[in-house]
């Protein structure tokens, strides 16, 4: 993996995270997230694919789980109390893009949400 690729990929992921943050800044609750879920999912989907290719497997795994949930929201499923968890996830992904950072707790929390809505 070249340094140039890592720089470009890092910049792109950070732009996607920034785009999600801008959307979330206009949201106040789960309903607002639901209205914007298609746009949020598009950003997350890009992160899901790109992060593992640059060695950020933990960011990719979290994005993968968020992508599953967001696709269900886009399809009309209600996911209670997701706004706060999504906001926290994005903030922690930003940290994980800057330095080694354990996303284990937020990954577990998001996985638990995913299991609840799947079951």
- The conformational region for residue 76 under phi > 0 = left, psi -120 to 50 = alpha, else beta, is left
For residue range 16-61, list pLDDT tens digits in order: 999 999 999 999 999 999 999 999 999 999 999 999 999 999 999 9
Give the pLDDT mean for 63-82: 96
What is the reported pLDDT for 118? 81
| pLDDT attached to residue 119 | 61
Q: What is the pLDDT of residues 45-54, one digit of tens each?
A: 999 999 999 9
Domains of the chain (ranges, CATH numbers): 3-118 (1.20.120)
Residue with tokens 């497997």: 57
H helices of 1-119, where? 3-25, 30-35, 37-53, 57-74, 82-98, 104-118
Closest CA to 88 of 71, 73, 68, 108: 108
DSSP-derived letter for residue 43 is: H
Q: Averaged over 3-13, what is the pLDDT?
A: 94
Three-state SS for 80? coil
pTM exceeding the 0.85 threshold for the entire prediction: yes
């Amino acid at each position: 993996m070249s340094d140039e690729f890592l720089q470009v990929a890092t910049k792109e992921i950070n732009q996607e995270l920034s785009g999600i943050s801008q959307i979330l800044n206009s949201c106040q609750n789960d309903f607002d997230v639901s209205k914007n879920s298609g746009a949020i999912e598009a950003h997350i989907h890009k992160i899901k694919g790109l992060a593992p290719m640059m060695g950020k497997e933990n960011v990719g795994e979290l994005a993968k789980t968020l992508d599953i949930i967001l696709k269900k929201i886009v399809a009309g499923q209600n996911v209670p109390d997701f706004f706060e968890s999504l906001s926290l996830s994005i903030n922690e992904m930003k940290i994980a893009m800057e330095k080694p950072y354990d996303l284990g707790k937020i990954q577990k929390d998001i996985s638990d949400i995913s299991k609840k809505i799947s079951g």
